[in-house]
Amino acid sequence: MNYNLNAVSEQQQKTSAYAALKGLLRLIAHEKSNLALAIIAIVLNAALNLLGPFLIGYAIDHYIAQKQYHGLLVFSGILLVIYLLALFTSYFQTQLMGSVGQRLLFTLRNAIFNKLQILPVAFFHANKAGDLISRVNNDTDKLNTFFSQSLVQFISSIVIMTGAGIFLLLINVQLGAATLMPALLILIFTKLVSPWIKKKSAVNMAGVGNMSAQIQESLNNFKVIVAFNRRDYFRKRFDEANRYNYTTAISAGLAGNTLLPVYGLLSGLAQLIVLLYGIHLIAAGSFSIGLLVSYLAYATQFYNPLRQLATLWASFQVALAGWDRIAQILSLNTNLAVVENITAEPDSTAVVEFRKVYFGYTKGKEILHNISLQLQKGKTYAFVGPTGGGKTTTASLIARLYDPTSGTILLNGKDLRACQPEELSKKIGFILQEPFLFTGTVKDNILYGNAQYRHYSNEQLRQVIKEAGLESLLTIFENGLLTGVSSGGDSISLGQKQLIAFMRAVLRNPDILILDEATANIDTVTEQLLEEILNKLPAHTTRIIIAHRLNTIRNADEIYFVNAGEVIRAGSFNEAIDKLLHDKRVS
């Protein structure tokens, strides 16, 4: 499955407005009752506003022309009541749709974030974090703006236009047809330029996402930028992203504003038609001054909303472009789903078994080739080899961060694909070379994902840590369990991060413990301390150590060389040394 959100097919880019809107409405189906109430209020508001011109024209012909001022005052009172009711319905619909928009924003962000939680690691390798943040924040806000502000005006404009068009045709069919002719030209023009507007808006949103990614990358690596004095490099990259965003924003703005002057021109043409044709009808004695005033008002009520729609339609295209970017994430599914009904393998003494496993991160580029191996319970295994040889990839397959391209991996005789995520998390501990920590305390990070000790007090947790032989590690932190950890763990050293990750993994008491260069940033004394703790792990725990340094794998029961797509058994530490010396003599 292709998880690159920017590699969108041409067909996907041409999603129709109807299909996009249909998908969005499915997401907010629970808001049907509120949307129905808002639409009723919008229709009622439009009907009240449409009554005004008719009553004004009637009053001109029957009261002003006849100088019956009492009737004029009565009609003025009726108009006042109508406009006050219109004010109330306008406020009600705005309040209702504003609430719907905020709930939509809440629902969308939850839906996106929950979807991100189930997507595999491959998805995050294929997409920049800054772009994903932009989709969660910026694109959802575009939709919220449209729903809470523009949609009310959008529906109201369409209802008023429809009502005004009906009145125009009812008063005089010929004049009405002539008045509505420019509207047909507007419809054709809108149909032609809408895809162009949507495309320009989508490009601009991608530019915003790219700029967010550049900012995030620069801030995350600021220490490296300062250390190498390369502010100029990142300044140049940001300047390029900012300029691109500026260019696409100008282009999108120009595209969005194309409709307004055209709508204005054709609206003016329609009013000119009404005036000329209306005067002709009055001269012929088939039309009254009051009807002409009403007619001009209805023509204005028909074409003024069209001018609003010129702006609103651009906003609608922006919202649709935002929805397309959001829908791309929501439409994805993990390729690491639990596969039901896989026949269990016969009991085996191997805790992990690879059977003819092939794997590549991208199609056509193989990292592992035809790997078959067995790891026994309670033993210590070391994976060694050059950088990029596939050591971490092999370990990642064991933890099911990825699935093999072909072949089978078994955990305790059970196909790894049939294991629930909770089961894998409980049985497999993974200590990364650069572990990620969350804002909080050492205690918060140690207990992350460990429901067993979640409700333990500090004293109870200290006792558990002591029983696990981890107490000496805890003393390294100034305030013990309550030592503060900032976002990303920058308030503590990289070595301390690894110690927290080590305690977090050991306290889970896993069946398999994978250490990916877990001691690379730890001093020799602490490394010996960790080795002693590893030796005290339960007898059933299988340890998998990924390392470059030979001293870290001295006590391994089995060593595997991982390189060039192969995983070759080297035997014990002494056997591995003999093999290395032999290879050097041969070369």
Which one-letter amino acid corresponds to residue 390? G
CB count in 10 Å sphere of residue 483: 18
The per-residue pLDDT for range 293-312, each reduced to its tens digit, is: 777 888 887 887 777 776 67
Token readout for 335 is: 């390729």
Higher pLDDT, 369 or 228: 369
Considering only CA atoms, which of 411, 297, 400, 299 is closest in space to residue 347? 411
- Whether the pLDDT of residue 480 is over 60: the answer is yes
Mean pLDDT for the stretch of residues 372-377 = 91
Structure tokens at 214: 């550049």
CB 83 within 8 A of CB 317: no
Which pLDDT belongs to residue 410? 92
- Helix (H) or strand (E) holding 355, with range, is strand 350-359
Q: What is the pTM of this model?
A: 0.66
b/e sequence 241-254, b meaning 16+ C-beta within 10 Å: beebbeebbebbee
C-alpha–C-alpha distance, residues 137 and 135, integer Å: 6
Residue 321 has pLDDT above 90, yes or no: no
- pLDDT > 70: percent of the chain: 88
Is CATH 3.40.50.300 correct for 31-330?
no
For 487, which DSSP code? G
For residue 522, give the 3-state DSSP assignment.
coil
Lowest mean pLDDT among 360-364, 478-482, 555-559: 360-364
Is residue 410 helix, strand or coil? strand
Looking at residue 491, its amino acid is: S
HSE toward the beta carbon, residue 443, CA cutoff 13 A: 16
**Whole-number Å distance between alpha carbons of 412 and 378:** 12
In this structure, what token pair is assigned to residue 278?
């209306």
* CA 180 vs CA 175, 279, 304: distances in Å: 9, 18, 13
Q: Is the pLDDT of residue 11 over 50?
A: no
64-78, 179-193, 555-569: which has the minimum mean pLDDT?
64-78
CB 400 within 8 A of CB 416: yes
- Does the pLDDT of residue 544 top 80, yes or no? yes
| Residue whose tokens read 């929501």 | 330
Across 15-24, 59-68, 82-91, least confident range: 15-24
Compute and round to an integer the Cα radius of gyration of the chain. Answer: 35
DSSP H or E stretch at residue 401 = none
Domain edges within the chain: 31-330, 350-586
Cα–Cα distance measured from residue 109 to residue 137, given in angstroms and rounded to the nearest whole number: 8
The Cα 383–Cα 514 span in angstroms is 10
* CATH architecture for residues 350-586: 3-Layer(aba) Sandwich (3.40)
Q: Are 299 and 168 in contact (CB under 8 A)?
A: yes
Q: How far apart are CA 531 and CA 513, in angstroms?
A: 13
- 407-438 as b/e, with b when 16 or more CB fall inside 10 Å? bbbbbbeebbbbbeeeebbbbbbbbbbebebe
158: Cβ–Cβ under 8 A, 6 or more apart, which residues? 305, 309
Phi, psi of 246 (to 5 degrees): -60, -45
Within this chain, domains 31-330 and 350-586 share the same CATH topology:
no
